[in-house]
A = this chain, B = another copy of it.
């Protein structure tokens, strides 16, 4: 399937991400079908013209007619859905996803997948602290990082097809990482930061402090509003890389604490200078 042809796209899982993909693709003229067990989500999306058609039941016709499927399911149920329904796929169909962990998903699906279709994993680094199709918004892709996560089983054509989707969505930088590189990166830049934000909110009852906070605390804890079902699944499916990053961070913060305890001002200043220098790299885009 080439993106130039306006063919049938099926979205499986119509939540925040699925809905955002649907909005973007329908706006561009694609026929967008959606499956989600939540009938209210489907009804809402139909009423708001976010999708062309949709069903809360497993509609075999929609699966048969799809030229491409985008999976935006919870990671725990994603491989089983593919296994159960791949008999219905059109030969040559393209599959991609939005899942936030890769190693434990990609190999498993590619291993069992029919040889005449291709699954190429992707991870758009975009989202909101809200869930559900009601909060979907295709502006989240604007200038976002879009990561393609191929394995040896993927074709050059498949990778290019996936990049084409990233460009259609309006993503900024499109890059390629292996599943292992992706999972190590995501453990640090996303999962660890969510663990920190959550722990900052739960470590003491601090709600009475909301009258006194500046922007830094608000920014640091924005992501402490979190979908507990999805994120606990993501953490469990990326347990080893995340534990490694948590230990590295805990060790570093403990070291900073010990410098403060012994009055090592120079040591703290050196850390602050390093941090300032490194952080500046993140603003040079």
CA–CA, A173 to B211, complex, Å?
7
CB of B260 within 8 A of CB of A235, answer yes
Q: Smallest CB–CB gap between A24 and chain B, Å?
A: 17
Q: Is the CB of B254 within 8 A of A250?
A: yes
Smallest Cβ-Cβ distance to A213: which chain B residue:
B189
Q: Does B145 lie within 8 Å of A214, measured CB to CB?
A: yes
Binary flags per residue of A62-79, CB closer than 8 Å to B gives 1, else 0: 000000000000000000
Judge if A194 is at the interface, Cβ distance under 8 Å: yes
Distance in angstroms between the alpha carbons of A231 and B251 in the assembled complex: 21
Which of A197, A210, A218 neighbours the largest number of chain B CB atoms within 10 Å of its CB?
Answer: A210
Closest B residue by C-beta to A247: B257
CB of A109 within 8 A of chain B?
Answer: no
| Min C-beta distance of A173 to chain B, whole Å | 6
Contact mask for chain A residues 260-283; partner B; CB cutoff 8 A; 1 contact, 0 none: 110101001101111110111110
> Of A12-20, A39-47, A238-246, which stretch is located at the interface?
A238-246
- For residue A165, CB closer than 8 A to chain B, the reply is no
A150-183 residues at the B interface, CB under 8 angstroms: 173, 175, 177
* Number of residues of chain A lying within 8 A (CB) of chain B: 87
Cα separation A220 to B224 with both chains bound (whole Å): 11
List the one stretch of A26-34, A50-58, A84-92, A198-206 in contact with chain B.
Answer: A198-206
A209 at the interface (CB under 8 A from B): yes
Residue of B nearest to A204 (CB): B248
Give the CA-CA distance A46 to B201 in the complex, in Å. Answer: 45
- Within the assembled complex, what's the spacing in Å between the Cα atoms of A194 and B105? 36
Tell me if A281 and B232 are in contact (CB < 8 A).
Answer: no
Residues of B within 8 A of A278 (CB): 201-202, 205-207, 224
- Give complex CA distance A281, B233 in Å: 26
Pair A236/B265 contact, Cβ less than 8 Å: yes
Whether the Cβ atoms of A242 and B221 lie closer than 8 Å is no
A226 to B147, CA, bound (A): 31
Q: Which of B144, B195, B217, B261 contacts A256 (CB 8 A)?
A: B195
With A219-B219, A260-B239 as contacts: A275 and B226 at CB distance below 8 Å: yes
A188 and B194 alpha carbons, distance in the complex (Å) = 18
A residues contacting B by CB (< 8 A) are: 125-127, 144-145, 147, 173, 175, 177, 185, 188-190, 192-207, 209-214, 216-229, 231-233, 235-236, 239, 242-243, 246-254, 256-257, 260-261, 263, 265, 268-269, 271-276, 278-282, 284-285
Closest 8 CB pairs of A and B: A203-B252, A228-B272, A201-B275, A125-B214, A228-B269, A224-B279, A198-B275, A199-B253
In the complex, 27 of the A-B residue pairs with CB atoms within 8 angstroms, ordered by the A residue number, are A127-B214, A145-B213, A145-B214, A177-B212, A188-B204, A188-B209, A193-B200, A193-B217, A196-B253, A199-B271, A201-B279, A202-B252, A203-B252, A210-B285, A217-B282, A218-B282, A219-B219, A222-B279, A224-B278, A225-B279, A225-B280, A228-B273, A233-B265, A236-B260, A246-B253, A246-B257, A250-B254
